[in-house]
Amino acid sequence: MIDPLIEVADSLRTHKVRTALAVLTVAWGIFMLVLLLGAGRGIQNGVELQFRDDAVNSIRIYQGKTTIAHNGLPRGRSISYNNEDYDLVRAKVAHVDKLTGRYYVGDNLVSYGGQQAAFDIRGVHPDHQYLEKTVLTDGRYINEFDLLERRKVCVIGAQVVARLFEDSESGRGPVGELLQLGGTVCQVIGVFTDAGSRREEEAVYLPVSTAQLLFGEPNRLHQLMYTVGDASYQESKDSEQQVRVLLASAHNFSPEDPRAARIYNNLDEYKKITDLFFWVRVFVAVVGVGTVLTGILAVSNIMVISVSERRREIGIRKAIGATPGSITRLIVLESVILTSIAGYIGLLASLGLLELLKATVPENEYMYQPDVNTFVVVAVTVLVIVSGTLAGYLPARRAAVIDPVEALQPS
Range of the domain at 154: 58-266
Which of 266, 296, 318 is the C-terminal boundary of a domain? 266
| Confidence category of residue 365, pLDDT binned at 50, 70, 90 | low
pLDDT at 30: 81
Specify burial of residue 191 (Cβ count, 10 A radius: 0-12, 13-18, 19+): buried
Contact 55, 130 (CB under 8 A): yes
pLDDT score recorded for residue 19: 77
pLDDT at 407: 57
Residues 233 and 319 in one domain: no
Q: Domain boundary residue among 266, 301, 327?
A: 266
Same domain, 94 and 233: yes
Same domain, 122 and 228: yes
Lowest mean pLDDT among 23-32, 55-64, 107-116: 23-32
Q: Are residues 188 and 256 in the same domain?
A: yes
Same domain? For 173 and 253 the reply is yes
Measured N-to-C along each axis, helices 266-309 and 311-319 cross at an angle, to the nearest 10 degrees, of: 70
Q: How far apart are CA 326 and CA 391, in angstroms?
A: 17
In this structure, are 74 and 45 located in the same domain? no
**Does the pLDDT value for residue 251 go beyond 70?**
yes
Same domain? For 260 and 326 the reply is: no
CA distances from 22 to 273, 295, 328, 336, 390 (A): 39, 8, 20, 12, 15
220 with 301, same domain?
A: no
**Residue, of 253 and 25, whose pLDDT is higher:** 253
Same domain (yes/no): 195, 170: yes
Indicate whether 209 and 73 sit together in one domain: yes
pTM of the model: 0.67
Give the total number of structural domains in the chain.
Answer: 2
pLDDT category, 170, cuts 50, 70, 90?
low
Of the candidates 235, 266, 297, which is a domain's last residue? 266
Identify whether residues 70 and 11 lie together within a single domain. Answer: no
The mean pLDDT value of the chain amounts to: 84
Residue 51: pLDDT band by 50, 70, 90 thresholds?
Answer: low
Q: What is the pLDDT of residue 293?
A: 75
Query: What pLDDT was estimated at residue 139?
Result: 94
pLDDT tier for residue 43 given thresholds of 50, 70 and 90: confident
168 lies in the same domain as 120 = yes
Q: Which of 219, 211, 226 is nearest to 89 (CA)?
A: 226
